[in-house]
Amino acid sequence: MENYSLEKEKIKRPNPITFKEKEKIDIVVSERKEDTIEPEYVGKREILADGLLKACGQLDYLDDMSFQDLLYGKILRSTIAHGKILSIDTEEASKVPGVKAIATWENTSPIRYNSLVRSIKDDFGMTEKIFDNVVRQYGDRVAAVAAETEEAAKEAIKKIRVEYEEYPGVYDPEEAYYSDIKIQPEGNRLPVTSREAGDVENAFREADDIIEYNLNTPMVHHLTLEPHVCVAKWDPGNELTVWAPQQGVFGVQINLCKIFELPYSKVRAIRTPLGGGFGVKVGIILEPICAELSRMAGRPVKIRLTREECMVSTWTRHSTKTYIRTALKEGEITGVDIRHFLNAGPHASNTASIPFAQVAKIYKLYNFENLKFTAIPVLTNTPLQGAMRGFGSPQIFAALDSAVENVAIKCGKEPLEFRKKYTAKSNDYNYLDPKDAVDDCTIDRCIEKGKEVFDWEGKKLLPKTEGKYIYGNGIGLGVHDNGIAPNEPDITGMTLSVYEDGSLCLSTGICDHGGGSYTILRQIIGEILLVPPQKISVETPDTKETPYDLGAYASRNTWVGGNCAIKVANQIKDKLLEYAKEYLECEYEDVIMLEDRFIDKNNKKEISRVDLISWVFFTKKEKIMVSDYFSSKKNAGSYGAHFARVRLDTETGEVKIIDYVACCDAGNPINPMLLEGQVEGGIQNGIGLALMEELLVDKRSGRVLNGNLKKYKIPIATDMPENLRVVFLNVYEKAGPFGAKSIGEAATVPVAHTVAHAISDALGGKEINKYPITPEMILLKLKS
């Protein structure tokens, strides 16, 4: 592994892989060779291609676009958390001037679906309907109206009379597991995942001590600044087109075809720029409702959710309850037993997939001799829960890393050094998910570098108190994967074509959520073909016009997209070299490609790039373009060791993070500026989880108590650490594009428990068993 380690300033460009070696491409796309030259574009702080448009307010998000004959839709939401609709009276609503369509469970598709399927063959539970005669959460959808104006739609919604038979609700996953209250006809229990490494029972039998640690994590909403919005147009030719800020257009097509029993050729999903995603813009939410309204009205329909609807009626990060028991023998951890309850909310969604993602990663971070992991996803009547940045990693690693921390404190060991006994090492065996190899594990190196940058030893010597303030230091570890290989097909397709002037057009189904995926793809292609990234345009993802992509989630864009970009760019390069060889009448190996021309290195004969492209067109009568796909075979871990120093106000319970260091391994950076941005945003997200964010559900009525920004607070500029430093290891990853790995999700995984550990340290080692850690909780801990 050391061979692949390089410092930032010494980044070398990998030797290009020729078309003739393409058989090997799927496995190792960018193996570094020694005889390389300095990179032109990869590794540079390239700015976002659409950055200036965004800065000037000139980038059109969906709500900024115009559609002819557009109608405006509004959704009626349930005021109860569980019950049967006995009747819906829409007569008064239909009389409101301008109303064109009203959709309820009685006149819409009754086909059950799962908003997050990736293939028609996916066997996730099909529990959702566009509208149902049972409501299962506060804010569930009951009916929708399309009208000439938003005001008319709002007025009509108010005039719909609904009679419910109210059912009791259940809001806690553990209670729901045993409850007689059935949320879905099939019951409340989703498939349990249970896996074991070693012999846990024996470890506990032989233990001389057992230490328990529990952690509850809250429902946290993604809070994309752009509210959910969708436009659907069902045209007379029975063709359905939907526009939405989507993280994955192909999933939309699959679901809409299922719900409306349409052939794939009749359903088209188009991505509009995303004003934030974080997992809440994957799958379908508004698409089928807009489609039904458009079918009924014969005109395009737009629905834009209110902020409260976004917070209550889309989905949240899974709230979890985790119980960890650790067996100890002579001061060493000999066994770990984890029971992990996941609250799914009222639908299957992709909750049962979270444990599969979690089992793949546990042994990439920690290698315990004996470990059992049981994940129990359960339906409840809370708001729906689903994918959010980290997909179960922030929750499970918060619990596991805190359990280790807790053992260290109880046994009087130094927590950082104690951890290192159990961290995974390169080429360890992944006992819980053997197909997903641990391969290169860099967590110890993240710890070492982070420790030095943070000055862990020095910080420990600083005074613990100062007037009303107390101080504490904490470390937290985490890992996240790159894509969904090797257990699942992880595929993206691309078409790359060369324009007459030498510039390029990339057609991809990958959705840039704003983090700069397209900028990275441009840098990669530009590097291989020596074309400035600004000269590469990227097509808007569209199921009809761009090749397939699974979706912008699971930290896939850089990893899978980057490798596919290398693959198609290398094929274009090979074509250019072949044509140049023919024109220059020389050997393939003798052609030198420069940004503006191709040269025969022996006799210095040359042709400009533009002239070569024209020669191919007029003389060869060919067009230079390629289409191909990349299927990821490997899943590397992106690691992080984070460090925090906090100051607690013993009078108010207020927490201030005064120093924060995130030491990450995201491979060899393609764009350090974007990489830093991802980590900084991930830290902000984790601070929200640790200190302030929780969607509160009334335990009796199931109502959401704080579904607005007056009551639900997210970190603002003054909540960020006073001194925040992000450092990278820059370890070259063999299977990554130009040695890179993803960071978007890994960035947020260690944050909440890092902050929690620092708070615990300030409190003299008191356990933190619940997020968010509010000032009230801190004051209580101080008193106890």
Q: Which member of 57, 185, 458, 463 binds another protein (CB under 8 A)?
A: 57
- Residue with smaller CB distance to another protein, 45 or 420: 45
Residue numbers 554-573 binding another protein by CB under 8 A: none
705 binds another protein (CB under 8 A): no
Q: Which member of 21, 24, 52, 208 binds another protein (CB under 8 A)?
A: 52
615 binds another protein (CB under 8 A): no
685 binds another protein (CB under 8 A): yes
Q: Which member of 15, 306, 608, 631 binds another protein (CB under 8 A)?
A: 306
Residue numbers 286-305 binding another protein by CB under 8 A: 304
- Residue with smaller CB distance to another protein, 103 or 274: 274
Residue 385, CB half-sphere, CA atoms under 13 Å: how many? Answer: 30
Q: Which member of 23, 717, 776, 783 binds another protein (CB under 8 A)?
A: 717
60 binds another protein (CB under 8 A): yes
Pair of tokens at residue 140: 């569930």
CA 291 to chain centroid, in Å, comes to: 27
291 and 234 Cβ atoms separated by less than 8 Å:
yes
534 binds another protein (CB under 8 A): no
- Residue with smaller CB distance to another protein, 505 or 714: 714
Q: Which member of 1, 411, 673, 696 binds another protein (CB under 8 A)?
A: 673
- Residue with smaller CB distance to another protein, 281 or 753: 281
Stretch that binds another protein, among 47-55, 323-331, 392-400, 461-469 (CB under 8 A): 47-55
3-state secondary structure at position 507 = strand
Pair of tokens at residue 558: 């850089």
How far apart, in whole angstroms, are the C-alpha atoms of residue 754 and residue 760?
A: 10
Counting Cβ atoms within 10 Å, is residue 262 exposed (0-12), middle (13-18) or buried (19+)?
middle
Residue numbers 209-228 binding another protein by CB under 8 A: 222-227
Asked, as a colleague might, if the bond just before 300 is cis with ω within 30 of 0, I would say no
246 binds another protein (CB under 8 A): no
Stretch that binds another protein, among 2-10, 315-323, 689-697, 712-720 (CB under 8 A): 712-720
CB atoms within 10 A of CB 144: 28
Residue numbers 81-110 binding another protein by CB under 8 A: none
Q: Which member of 107, 265, 619, 708 binds another protein (CB under 8 A)?
A: 708
Q: Which member of 61, 264, 499, 548 binds another protein (CB under 8 A)?
A: 61
Q: Shortest Cβ distance from residue 418 to another protein (Å)?
A: 30
Stretch that binds another protein, among 369-377, 589-597, 679-687, 699-707 (CB under 8 A): 679-687
680 binds another protein (CB under 8 A): yes
720 binds another protein (CB under 8 A): yes
Pair of tokens at residue 38: 């300095």
Say which DSSP state 24 is in.
G
In Å, what is the CA distance from 676 to each residue of 430, 515, 663, 680? 30, 11, 11, 6
CB atoms within 10 A of CB 6: 15
In Å, what is the CA distance from 325 to each residue of 397, 416, 495? 15, 20, 51
658 binds another protein (CB under 8 A): no
716 binds another protein (CB under 8 A): yes
Residue 39, CB half-sphere, CA atoms under 13 Å: how many? Answer: 28
Q: Shortest Cβ distance from residue 70 to another protein (Å)?
A: 12
- Residue with smaller CB distance to another protein, 36 or 708: 708
- Residue with smaller CB distance to another protein, 108 or 523: 523
684 binds another protein (CB under 8 A): yes
Instruction: Give the amino acid at 118.
Output: R
3-state secondary structure at position 171 = coil
Stretch that binds another protein, among 48-56, 136-144, 409-417, 695-703 (CB under 8 A): 48-56
Q: Which member of 128, 676, 745, 761 binds another protein (CB under 8 A)?
A: 676
Nearest alpha-carbon partner for 338 in 399, 410, 395: 399
Q: Which member of 56, 180, 237, 621 binds another protein (CB under 8 A)?
A: 56
Q: Shortest Cβ distance from residue 515 to another protein (Å)?
A: 6
208 and 328 Cβ atoms separated by less than 8 Å:
yes
Which string of x and - marks every residue 490-529 that binds another protein (by CB under 8 A)? -----------------------xxxx-------------
Applying CB under 8 A, what is the total number of residues that bind another protein?
56
Which string of x and - marks every residue 440-479 that binds another protein (by CB under 8 A)? ----------------------------------------
Q: Shortest Cβ distance from residue 492 to another protein (Å)?
A: 21
| Per-residue H/E/C for 58-111 | CCCCHHHCCCCCCEEEEEEECCCCCEEEEEEECHHHHCCCCEEEEECCCCCCCC
CB atoms within 10 A of CB 706: 18
Q: Shortest Cβ distance from residue 227 to another protein (Å)?
A: 7
224 and 278 Cβ atoms separated by less than 8 Å:
yes
Which contacts qualify for 9-13: CB closer than 8 Å, 24 or more apart? 11/38, 11/39, 11/42, 11/43, 11/668, 11/730, 12/36, 12/37, 12/38, 12/39, 13/37, 13/38, 13/39, 13/40, 13/42, 13/527, 13/738
646 binds another protein (CB under 8 A): no
- Residue with smaller CB distance to another protein, 251 or 516: 516
- Residue with smaller CB distance to another protein, 346 or 682: 682
Q: Which member of 16, 682, 736, 772 binds another protein (CB under 8 A)?
A: 682
Nearest alpha-carbon partner for 502 in 565, 567, 571, 576: 576
Q: Shortest Cβ distance from residue 511 to another protein (Å)?
A: 12
Tokens 């109502």 belong to which residue? 703
515 and 253 Cβ atoms separated by less than 8 Å:
no
The beta strand positions in 109-186, using DSSP E, are: 134-135, 141-147, 161-166
Using CB under 8 A as the criterion, which residues of the chain lie in contact with another protein when the complex forms? 45, 47-48, 50-61, 63-64, 222-227, 273-278, 304, 306-307, 513-516, 673-674, 676-677, 680-685, 708-710, 714-718, 720, 724
